[in-house]
Structure 1
Amino acid sequence: MVDTGRAEDWLLTVAQRHRLSPTQRQIVQRMLGMFPDVAFLSTVEIAERTGVSQPTVTRLATALGFAGFPEFRAALRDVVVGLSPAPDRHSTPAVDQETANLESLKRVLAGDRMSEAVALLAGTPALGVIGLRASAALAEYFGYFARRLLPAVSVCTDASTVDDTVLEVREQGATALLIFAMPRYPAATVAAIRRARRLGLATVVVADTALVPFAQDADVLLVAPVGTGLVFDSHAAVVVLAVSLLDAIAATDPQRTQQRLEAHEALIDSWIHHG
């Protein structure tokens, strides 16, 4: 459960233990009014909201005794979701951050946008799934299982063919596209979202934050935060969201789902390893 008051008290306590510059104290003061969202924002987003530069936000994290901004943000998330108030973190920040991401995802899965996304994706005669660069594996993962549920699924992970894919699925009768847009956001992904809308296709976009610069171009934006505590971003919450979408789509037509899954099961003996 989100405990905003507890989180504010924690940040104040940490700030009072360190000697901060006037600018840094001002950032902290403004952050106090940004809970719980501040625990899930990037340095760029906090800088924009507090009226300072991105390096200034990064320096604040180290001034507060953290190794860097990812560790500071992970600590914020822990406090917001009621995990641990301790500012000194010597455990596993990457796992703790993912735990906070999954807590944040609960609100998305129970929200109206999730219901809207499921209705669009379950109701399209053909489904296009797009994911470029870092999002390619997510698109392939979703598409692999979506083909067990839906009659016509096209997956595109190549920026050079994404325009062709959008046109082809529309010609196949598609009414909606699912697009994974994880950092860093490829220009071709944003162009595909806008092209799809111009062609009359609804777009369900999965991104890491509601503040992506192309948010207004999506018909439905689903947010699944990424883990940033390791060398490369972790997509644990995004995978859970993808599987949850598949489960909800399957539930919209149980008879079709059963028939298609049984047909798939009939093929398993021909390719599974029996040992």
Structure 2
Amino acid sequence: MTLQNRTLQNSLDTGRAEDWLLDLAQRHRLSPTQRQIVQRMLGLFPDVAFLSTIEIAERAGVSQPTVTRLATALGFAGFPEFRAALREVVLSGRAGAAPDRHSAVDLEVGNLAGLKRTLDSERMTSAVRLLAATAPLGVVGLRASAALADYFGYFARRVLPAVSVHTDASCLDDAVLGLRHQGATALLAFAMPRYPAATVAAIRLARQLGMATVVVADSPLAPFAADADVLLVAPVGTGLLFDSHAAGVVLAISLLDAVAATDPQRTQQRLEAHEALVGRWML
């Protein structure tokens, strides 16, 4: 990133512009490739408002005409009109922010603030209802998402009667089929970028077998969004060498808290039984 771009990055509050683009994309019917472009653009703010179609195409891994068609799909006469609107939104977010506004911590604070909308949404209510009703509860997470799946599963086993976590792609199909045979009616999947193909295949298999799918992902424009009965969005932090999943952790534990609250008596009994064993493994 050039010094000029760093100066621009520090002088603009891009959260409003990102929300504008995301809302615009959700209000139009986009192809999977077009959703991919929008998702890539969301990670390029504020520079994306000043890039050419060729530059955006190169960074999104698509052709230049595909980027041009995205502009018309979003309701603009052409790319120049779309870029002008994008620039206006970006520049209107100029603020006297501190120079470190876009540090990794500040970006995560923004992600957590945006997470409130998900936690208070009808989607969250639907997810809780589906997960509270299934036994066993299968949890899927591969590669970067394995830690989130293990985190949820570790605590879920303390308050729910039957929880199984699956982080091995080689036997994931068998695991989903086994869950269905055991009576599972829903599957929880964590799918953070880069999205493992096996995770998407497991989500689709679960639906084919008649199970509801609750998916935690980083964007409502994820290419497999249509395969989720309930999609819960936990944005990732992109300010460091690797993505950070602070919002995903908060969403995971909030989801479990809400599921446990659907049967408070059972939750209390199981927690008390767990506490009785703490002395066996705590110093």
TM-score, normalised on structure 2?
0.71
Q: How does 1:82-97 map to 2 (within 5 A)?
A: 85-86=95-96, 89-90=99-100, 93-97=103-107
**1:15-74 Cα distance to aligned partner (Å, 9 max, x none):** 9x9xxxxxxxxxx9xx96962738xx643468999993554797xxxxxxxxxxxxxxxx
Is 1:46–1:57's contact at 8 Å kept on the other side of the alignment? no
Q: How far apart are residue 131 of structure 1 and its match?
A: 0.1
SS of corresponding position for 1:160 = helix
Cα gap change, 1:197 to 1:144, in 2 (>3 Å): same
Q: Letter of the aligned partner of 1:35 in structure 2?
A: W
- 1:160 matched to 2:132? The reply is no
SS of corresponding position for 2:276 = helix
Aligned to 2:20: 35
Q: Out of 193, 212, 215, which is 2:222 matched to?
A: 212
- 1:226 matched to 2:236? The reply is yes
Q: Out of 131, 137, 146, which is 2:147 matched to?
A: 137
Q: How far apart are residue 192 of structure 1 and its match?
A: 0.4
Aligned to 2:204: 194
Q: How far apart are residue 92 of structure 1 and its match?
A: 5.8
CA distance in 1, matches of 2:110, 2:266: 36
Is 1:124–1:176's contact at 8 Å kept on the other side of the alignment? yes
Q: How far apart are residue 142 of structure 1 and its match?
A: 0.3
Q: How many residues align?
A: 226
Q: Letter of the aligned partner of 2:276 in structure 1?
A: A
Cα gap change, 1:34 to 1:221, in 2 (>3 Å): closer
**1:197-219 Cα distance to aligned partner (Å, 9 max, x none):** 00001000000000001000000
SS of corresponding position for 1:270 = helix
- Aligned-residue RMSD, C-alpha: 3.4
Q: How does 1:69-108 map to 2 (within 5 A)?
A: 85-86=95-96, 89-90=99-100, 93-108=103-118
Q: Letter of the aligned partner of 2:203 in structure 1?
A: I
Cα gap change, 1:146 to 1:33, in 2 (>3 Å): closer
- 1:173 matched to 2:183? The reply is yes
TM-score, normalised on structure 1?
0.73
CA distance in 1, matches of 2:96, 2:205: 47
Is 1:205–1:218's contact at 8 Å kept on the other side of the alignment? yes
**1:147-167 Cα distance to aligned partner (Å, 9 max, x none):** 011111110001001111101
Cα gap change, 1:261 to 1:221, in 2 (>3 Å): same
Q: How far apart are residue 225 of structure 1 and its match?
A: 0.1
Matched-pair identity in %: 62
Q: Out of 248, 267, 270, which is 1:257 matched to?
A: 267
Q: How does 1:236-251 map to 2 (within 5 A)?
A: 236-251=246-261
Is 2:18–2:42's contact at 8 Å kept on the other side of the alignment? no
CA distance in 2, matches of 1:56, 1:168: 43
Stretches of structure 2 lacking an aligned partner (at least 5 in a row): 1-7, 24-37, 60-88
More divergent stretch after superposition (252-261 vs 47-56) = 47-56
Cα gap change, 1:153 to 1:53, in 2 (>3 Å): farther
